Amino acid sequence: MELTGIILVVAFFVLLLLNVPISISIGVATLLAMVMSMDIAPATITIAQRMAGGLNSFALLAIPFFVLSGLIMGRGGIAKRLIECAMALIGALPGGLALVNVVSCMLFGAISGSAVATTSAIGSFMLPEMKKAGYEPNFSAAVTAAASTTGMLIPPSNILIVYAIASGGVSIAALFMAGYIPGIMVGLALMLVCFIYAKMKGYPLSPRLPIKVVVEKTIAALPSLFLIFLVIGGIVGGVFTATEAGAIAVVYSLLLAVVFYKEVDAKALPDIFLKAAETTAIVMLLIAASTAMSWLLSFENIPQTLSNAMLSISDNPLLILLLINLLLIVVGAFLDMTPAVLIFTPIFLPVALELGMSELQFGIMLVLNLSIGLCSPPVGAVLFITCAIAKTKLENIIRPLIPLYVAMFVVLMLVTYVAWFSEALPRALGF
């Protein structure tokens, strides 16, 4: 078992250093480790079976639907209307444009379910506007990178669906409800940092808009915001499943972008569908390869061994949970969220349950932790997109990111040690 684990870890990181795609790295590392336990032929067959079995889940059908609806919304003028609504409501406050950036990322992230899509859609509009208003480009980029991750917690969220599968069947609807309070808390914490930073720097205030304009901008954004209530309301009310909600989101976003807003031409749809297929294929390959690796870990009893080792370190649950968080922060800085959830859920979930956490609380803690990794070097995907839009270098935005990291970490600690934040809403709704 020890040799298998060593080979698995070493092969995986060597392949990553060689710039091999992460899904291929996971698959090849799993095969090399499995050869230590069986011959090459049965090892190959076993991996193929486990990869196919990992995709044999009805709940996973929700992912391509939400990916497609997110892409349609990204091109359908929805981001622009959400930004204008946020600008009208809070743009005149100190640090108004930074606050608008955070709120817009929260709203669009909740609708699209993608941090990368949120970074592209909101960042391409907000970063030039903040630069024109006198905000430091590096600070603006840091705010966008951090805020774009809030959509990982605020449903509908693809990564929460992945966790539901990895954990062995946690209710997706309950997870969606559990993500609301922590997701909003992260957004509010980031807004507090932006407010304080803007007061210290003396950034100019935006003019206060007339009430008539505020009402007009809010009404214009309501059709976009209604998607959240449509999807989540239907799931919570038991009208349809998360997968069916994804299909409904696609139909609604098509009607919104093509018919209502008329921002997407019918000729552009094939390109959107192709991009959705490419993104879905990448995600599904990651899930398949990670499922095979998770099976190997279980086959070799590695999760149980690691769980026992962690529980033997100390009998203080506060210390063990802090250690888990620190390990996950390091993991999140190097590994994509989907494989990280699939690989580390079976390792750390038993420890969390032993310490008295619920599956819901651990899931939200895990996703929030890995969301911090999305905007952390060296691999954080949203960092590179934000830097490209802001036309700055990665090292330049690390310093303004630090207070935002601190704010996110404080919320992470609250979610880790206070179950109420994750469980209050699901319990109130009867999950």
Reading the block at residue 213, the tokens are 């304009």
**How many other CB atoms are found less than 10 A from the CB of residue 52?**
12
Peptide bond connecting 378 to the previous residue in cis, omega within 30 degrees of 0: yes
> What percentage of residues in the chain have a pLDDT greater than 90?
12
Same domain, 30 and 164: no
Rounded to whole angstroms, the Cα distance separating 26 from 344 reads 13
Rounded to whole angstroms, the Cα distance separating 67 from 57 reads 17
**Residue 71: band (very low, low, confident or very high) from pLDDT cuts 50, 70, 90:** confident
Same domain, 25 and 106: no
Q: Are 288 and 76 in contact (CB under 8 A)?
A: no
Q: Is the pLDDT of residue 1 over 60?
A: no
Reading the block at residue 413, the tokens are 């600690």
Q: What is the mean pLDDT of residues 218-229?
A: 82
pLDDT value of residue 27: 87
Amino acid in position 208: R
Same domain, 267 and 346: yes
pLDDT value of residue 421: 93
Average pLDDT score, the chain: 84
Rounded to whole angstroms, the Cα distance separating 326 from 259 reads 48
Same domain, 47 and 153: no
Same domain, 121 and 43: no
Q: If we measure between CA atoms, which residue out of 58, 73, 57, 164 comes closest to residue 110?
A: 73
Boundary residue ending a domain (20, 39, 54): 54
Q: Are 382 and 148 in contact (CB under 8 A)?
A: yes
Boundary residue ending a domain (54, 69, 95): 54
The one-character DSSP state at 208 is P
Exposed/middle/buried for 100, CB within 10 Å: 0-12, 13-18, 19+? buried
Domain count, the chain: 2
Boundary residue ending a domain (39, 54, 69): 54
> What percentage of residues in the chain have a pLDDT greater than 70?
99
Rounded alpha-carbon distances, angstroms, from residue 79 to 72, 129, 303, 397, 400: 11, 14, 42, 24, 25
**Residue 136: band (very low, low, confident or very high) from pLDDT cuts 50, 70, 90:** confident
- pLDDT digit string, tens, across residues 78-96: 777 877 888 788 877 887 8
pLDDT value of residue 185: 94
Q: Are 95 and 194 in contact (CB under 8 A)?
A: yes
Q: Are 311 and 320 in contact (CB under 8 A)?
A: yes
Q: What is the mean pLDDT of residues 278-283?
A: 85
CA angle 387, 388, 393 (to 5 degrees): 45
Q: Are 363 and 175 in contact (CB under 8 A)?
A: yes
Same domain, 29 and 64: no
Same domain, 30 and 69: no
End-to-end CA distance of the chain: 39
Same domain, 26 and 166: no
Give the max Cα distance, the chain. Answer: 74
Same domain, 292 and 206: yes
Tokens 């061994």, residue located: 305
- pLDDT digit string, tens, across residues 344-376: 888 888 888 888 899 999 999 999 998 888 888
Q: Which of 50-64, 81-95, 141-155 has the highest mean pLDDT?
A: 141-155
Q: What is the mean pLDDT of residues 159-166?
A: 86
Same domain, 33 and 136: no
Q: Are 138 and 399 in contact (CB under 8 A)?
A: yes
Same domain, 297 and 385: yes
Count CA within 13 A, CB hemisphere, residue 167: 26
**How many other CB atoms are found less than 10 A from the CB of residue 162?**
26
For residue 170, give its domain range.
55-428
Q: If we measure between CA atoms, which residue out of 331, 343, 332, 327 comes closest to residue 381?
A: 332
Rounded to whole angstroms, the Cα distance separating 18 from 214 reads 52
What b/e readout covers 265-274, taking b as 16+ CB neighbours within 10 angstroms?
Answer: eeeeeeebee
Same domain, 179 and 43: no
